[in-house]
Structures are given as structure tokens and as C-alpha cells.
Amino acid sequence: MLIDQTTRDATSVALQGIKRISGLLDVYSGQNLAKIYADQEKTGELLIVGAQPLVLPPIPGFKEAMERLPEEDRYIQISSGVVLVGWWYTKTVAQFDLDMLGELFDTDDSELMVSLEQCCKFLGSPVLIPFEKPYHDDGADILGCIVGFATDDPIGFNGLNSFVFLPVFMDPETELPNFAVGLARFNTRDKKQALPLRDLII
């Protein structure tokens, strides 16, 4: 499938936006991810899926610095950070043919229902979904959205589980690429239960 200009634009802005997040690619460098993977091989404990780390990198003082943040801020920062890092190293982009786009548009007028079982498939496989046309909101052009999944229990999914969505946009004031952060947190242990997405967003 040919890559169209809107896909190129969304991908370019996403890459630029990740580069602009202070320290993200230093903290989650390829070397640090390799160390996490080596620890996983030694211990047999699941510490990284794809390029998405499930634990904080082994940097002196980093864990302590994160623990000083308010709990909710820490959770949002870590969840969004690991999804962006997972996407940075894979750069998976979804493209839809016309038939699929028609099906997606048909869902616009209905309530979007999601389950933990559906969303956890994005763990380690975050994807950028470019929009066919930029979506205008508060003066910003939103070009697409990176979606992924974050959890502290990648085996049974009985801990904190969130579907993470990160709209990619150009900031109208600075004219620089940026991300908004959205989390849909699952509080259910029923992995198949379909729930309204809007009721899960925190």
C-alpha cells in the first residue's frame, strides 16, 4: 500500500514530538532497554515486551525521582512514556483501505465499546493511526493518534491496566509537535466484558 502524505505528516510530527520530550530517549536508550532484556533473560521474569519496557530502567536515582511525583502524575508519565518508547523503536503505522475506513466511519455515531482482552493486545505493539484529514481542536491540528497499552501485571492483567492514546498535534502557539495524553483505565477483572470507552477515561 502506498504511503500517503497525511501518513508521512503524522509520522514525522510523532517522531519530532518524541525527540522533544526531555530525557525520554536518554532514559529509555537502546542500551538501557538491552540491559532490561538481559535481566529478563537471566531471571525469566517478563520485563520488556517488544521494545516496550515494563519496568523502570536501571539508572541511578531515576526510580527515586519518579517516586517523588504524585501517584497519579507518576502513573500517567510512566504509562505514556513507555508507549511512546515502544512506538519509537518499532514505528508501526496503521493504514486503512476504503472498505475499512467505511466501517470505522460507521462507528462514529455509536458508542465505542472496548474490553481488556481487546486492548491488552497493544502491549508491546503500540501503533500510530494517522487521520485521513487533520482534526481541528482548540486551534490545534491533530494529525493522528498513537495507541498502546500499559500494565503492571503483563501475565494475568490483574493490576493497573490502561489503554493509552496519545493524539499527535502541532501546538498552535509554539508551532512545535506535541502530544496530548489520554488513559482509559480498566478496573474490571472480567477480561471479556465490553465497556463504554468514554466511561473508562481518566
Q: Each residue of 29-78: pLDDT tens digit?
A: 999 999 999 999 999 999 999 999 999 998 888 889 999 999 999 999 99
Q: Each residue of 99-138: pLDDT tens digit?
A: 544 444 555 556 788 999 999 999 999 999 998 888 888 7
Element (H, E) at 85: helix 71-90
3-state SS, residue 114: strand
Taking the alpha carbons at both ends of the chain, their separation in whole angstroms is 36
Distance CA 200, CA 183 (A): 8
Give the domain ranges of the chain.
Answer: 1-202
